Amino acid sequence: MNFWLFKSETTTWSWDQQRAKGDAGEEWSGVRNYQARNFMRQMRIGDLGFFYLSQKEKAVVGVVQIIAEAHPDSTTDDERWECVDIKAVRTLATPVSLQQIKSDPRLSEMVLVTNSRLSVQPVTEDEWAVICSLGGDAPS
């Protein structure tokens, strides 16, 4: 089991929209960055991820699960781009802000901190547990 982080903006794709898709989930389409795509290729069904909102909220707000492994991105004919499907699993009791993440020494190596522009990124098991704890959630 691996852990990931998906970055979105409320104005583009909100947590409410993601949750409204229910167990059917939705394609994480539109990624046009090789590093991000390569991480998606490594994802397996059942892996968990955080849903992070950049720009306005700047906080981890929920947990998602991979429900389909990498496949062609339906929003382009360009064969280079692939995406996975994810579904919302639960909302964190308390959103974990970027400020909190940056100020916590246990999270200083997070990709969110060291490479803030990467939109799909890996999260270590330790980082996963810390953020779940800060969010008032059991780390499962």
Partner DNA sequence: GCCAACGTTGGC
Let me know the angle formed at the C-alpha of 130 by 91 and 97, rounded to the nearest 5 degrees. 55
Contact 56, 9 (CB under 8 A): yes
Could you tell me which stretch among 38-46, 67-75, 117-125, 127-135 binds DNA (CB under 7 A)? 117-125
User: Which residue reads 């382009």 in tokens?
Assistant: 76
Is 109 one of the binding residues for DNA (CB under 7 A)? no
Is 108 one of the binding residues for DNA (CB under 7 A)? no
Q: Which is nearer to DNA, 45 or 99 (CB)?
A: 99
Is 103 one of the binding residues for DNA (CB under 7 A)? no
Of the candidate residues 17, 55, 74, 108, the single one contacting DNA (CB under 7 A): 55
Contact 7, 119 (CB under 8 A): yes
Q: In the bound complex, what is the minimum distance in angstroms from residue 90's beta carbon to DNA? A: 22
Contact 119, 33 (CB under 8 A): yes
Is 75 one of the binding residues for DNA (CB under 7 A)? no
Of the candidate residues 20, 22, 34, 75, the single one contacting DNA (CB under 7 A): 34
HSE-up of residue 119 (Cα within 13 Å, Cβ side): 13
Beta-ladder partners of 6:
51, 120
Residues that bind DNA (CB under 7 A): 7, 9, 32-35, 54-55, 58, 98-99, 102, 112, 115-119
